[in-house]
Amino acid sequence: MQFISINMQIKSGTMKKYYKDYKLVSKTLPNGKVKRVTEYIGKYYTCCLSKTNLKRMKFYYLTLVLCSSATAIGAGFINNLGSSIVYVALPYVSLFLPIAYSLMGTIGFINSNEKLTQALYDKTKIRIRRATIWQMLLSVVAILGDVFFILFGVDKDLLQEELAFLGCMILVFLINVLFIKLQKRVVYQVEDPHYSD
């Protein structure tokens, strides 16, 4: 009965994707009782950087994510006419989802050790990389949309606000290009306990 309930806990919720990385084992407690607990048997990812370099990278990650977020939020306060046009507004608003994921992944990365389980690796390294790529793509779409609007639809009186918004989107793109290059420096070595099997 206890085996079934623990097994169901492993397969439900956030563990559903990673349930094969765990197995149930019997553990004898100091009072003599036997308890079934889960044990991690999946891959480990060990960072190849020294502790000081890893701390530095964590600081750089947080700085770049906050700069990208602040620039995107600041672009919304410009209140330019182009941000009410669908082909500019849609990629701009969509930009906040990958920014949120990037921030969540970075916070997880900052709180992690040098050795990560498969789930932590996916929720930090992989999540940050995907979110950064999405930010780059969406900022490019917003840039192209705003350039099109500047060339064909903006009044000369409103040009300054449009150029400020365009500058913010270019800055978001450049920050994420720098961020993706920085991510390539954080290399993990895979330790697979089943490699010999």
pTM of this structure: 0.82
The pLDDT of residue 197 is: 46
Are residues 134 and 173 located together in one domain of the fold? yes
User: Which whole-number Å values give the CA distances from 32 to 23, 35, 192, in the listed order?
Assistant: 22, 10, 33
Q: Which residue has the higher pLDDT, 191 or 108?
A: 108
The reply to whether 24 and 75 lie within a common domain is no
**pLDDT at 157 > cutoff 90:** no
CATH number of the domain at 127, please.
1.20.120.230
Quote the tokens at residue 42.
Answer: 């999946």
26 and 114 assigned to the same domain: no
Per-residue pLDDT, 13: 53
Q: Residue 22 is part of which domain span?
A: 2-41
Q: What would the pLDDT profile of 32-59 be if each residue is shown by its tens digit? A: 888 888 888 888 999 999 999 999 999 9
